[in-house]
Amino acid sequence: MIARQTIPFNTQLKYRLVRQLYFSGVASCNDLSEALGKSLPHIAKSLYEMIDEGYIIEKGYAPSNGGRPPLIYALRPEKMYMLSVAIDQLYTRIGILDLAGQFVFPVETIELKLLHNKDALSVLTKALIKVLGQLGKDRKKIIGAGLSMPGFVNTRSGTNFTYLPTNSKESLRDYLERQLHMPVYIENDSSVLALAELKMGLAKGLQDVMVIAIGWGVGLGMIVGGGLFRGHTGYAGELSHIPISESNTLCECGKRGCLETEATLRVVAKKAIEEIKAGKITSLTPLDSPEKMSEAVMAAANHGDQYAIELLSEMGFKIGKAIAILIHIVNPELIILGGRGTEVGKILLAPIQQALNQYCIPRLSEHTGVKVSQLGHEASLLAAAALVMEKFGETAL
């Protein structure tokens, strides 16, 4: 494993300032003092040093209700970059973000099937190296790579026990660090989405929040006590595989009865293709690609196609039934709907709420809100970048 220190900051406070400003966008000296628990003189000293070093810039004055408004500060966007990788079972998206959370180049999307694909890791590695090549000499500004991915991920060892085996004793993280020559952080896609919501989304400042990632599976990122909850061995949140399905369909995990066999966008796409070919009346036409078919269904639903709305409502109700179980166990203050499914989030809210009304004890559910994530279509890539920043400077000095 390679060394984690990537730039010569001489105090941990400077790393903390970078992390705080990345997630807040802008802040005054007083804001930073309160957030980091350091005195104003300590904060001011480090701020001025980092301005001289070119990492922080002044952004003018904050709004004031009276008196002299404080100066606010931000990171210089082009000073450092992060490689962000969002992997699902069928497709991988790759982006490079600056310190303002903006993409430096258009996001690269490649079709990459993870299951039963011995070449998947080689294809991924080549794609990452190709994207990094766009930076040219600025590649040295990359502070790390964050991978958001499905499967059983052990963040301590850097291993994914479900996908992308290295065919050696080397962990996935160590393999990629050796290939890319930079720190690499891997995390389960649902947990990293929860991290993004906690740092820059609807969960910011909240204590107990469940983030439901609706896509090819149904993931769960758990925020408990204001921090990520991963469980004893790091695998908490496998909502896709709770046995509540009444069908006998075999899941990819090898078990039957999993939620994933009935309530995912992949299931919706497959059902739509089969039923349209069988003569179902709809504005949709069957498409061979599951991703394109799911996107077509969501677009049609947003334009009022009754059949598309019925497909998604059926999925939403089944997910709502699973959420009812969560509410009974965890009693969260908020449920956030994230992932690809946010494109039809407003359509999913009604059937999910219907399921909660049917399956939840009112005393438990009446104070739990359900909202659609505001992080947008690139939430997984923003989340993977957040993972890099959260770890930035963690073991330096």
Which class is 204-374 in CATH?
Answer: alpha beta
Q: State residue 6's pLDDT score.
A: 52
**Which of 18, 19, 42, 40 has the alpha carbon at shortest distance from 31?**
40
Higher pLDDT, 170 or 10: 170
Q: State residue 249's pLDDT score.
A: 86
Which class is 12-75 in CATH?
Answer: mainly alpha
Residue 64 in this model has a pLDDT that exceeds 80:
no
**Which of 31, 394, 367, 15 has the alpha carbon at shortest distance from 207?**
367
Q: What is the average pLDDT across 16-40?
A: 95
Hey, where are the domains in the chain?
12-75, 79-192+380-391, 204-374
Residue 26 in this model has a pLDDT that exceeds 60:
yes
DSSP 340: G
Q: Confidence band (pLDDT; 50, 70, 90) for 288?
A: confident
Q: What is the pLDDT of residues 150-168, one digit of tens each?
A: 988 988 889 999 899 998 8
Q: Which residues contact 35 (CB under 8 A, 6 or more apart)?
A: 20, 24, 27
Q: What one-letter code names the amino acid at 308?
A: A
**Is 79-192+380-391's fold the same as 204-374's?**
yes
Q: State residue 90's pLDDT score.
A: 85
Q: Confidence band (pLDDT; 50, 70, 90) for 349?
A: very high
Residue 18 in this model has a pLDDT that exceeds 80:
yes
Cβ(349)–Cβ(370) below 8 Å:
yes
Residue 394 in this model has a pLDDT that exceeds 90:
no
Cβ neighbour number for residue 371 with a 10 Å cutoff: 15
Residue 5 in this model has a pLDDT that exceeds 60:
no
Cβ(378)–Cβ(107) below 8 Å:
yes
Cα–Cα distance for residue pair 338/377, rounded to 1 Å: 9
Output the average pLDDT for the chain.
91
Residue 8 in this model has a pLDDT that exceeds 80:
no
For the domain made up of 79-192+380-391, give the CATH fold: Nucleotidyltransferase; domain 5 (3.30.420)
Q: State residue 50's pLDDT score.
A: 95
Query: What percent of the chain has a predicted confidence (pLDDT) above 70?
Result: 97
Higher pLDDT, 67 or 47: 47
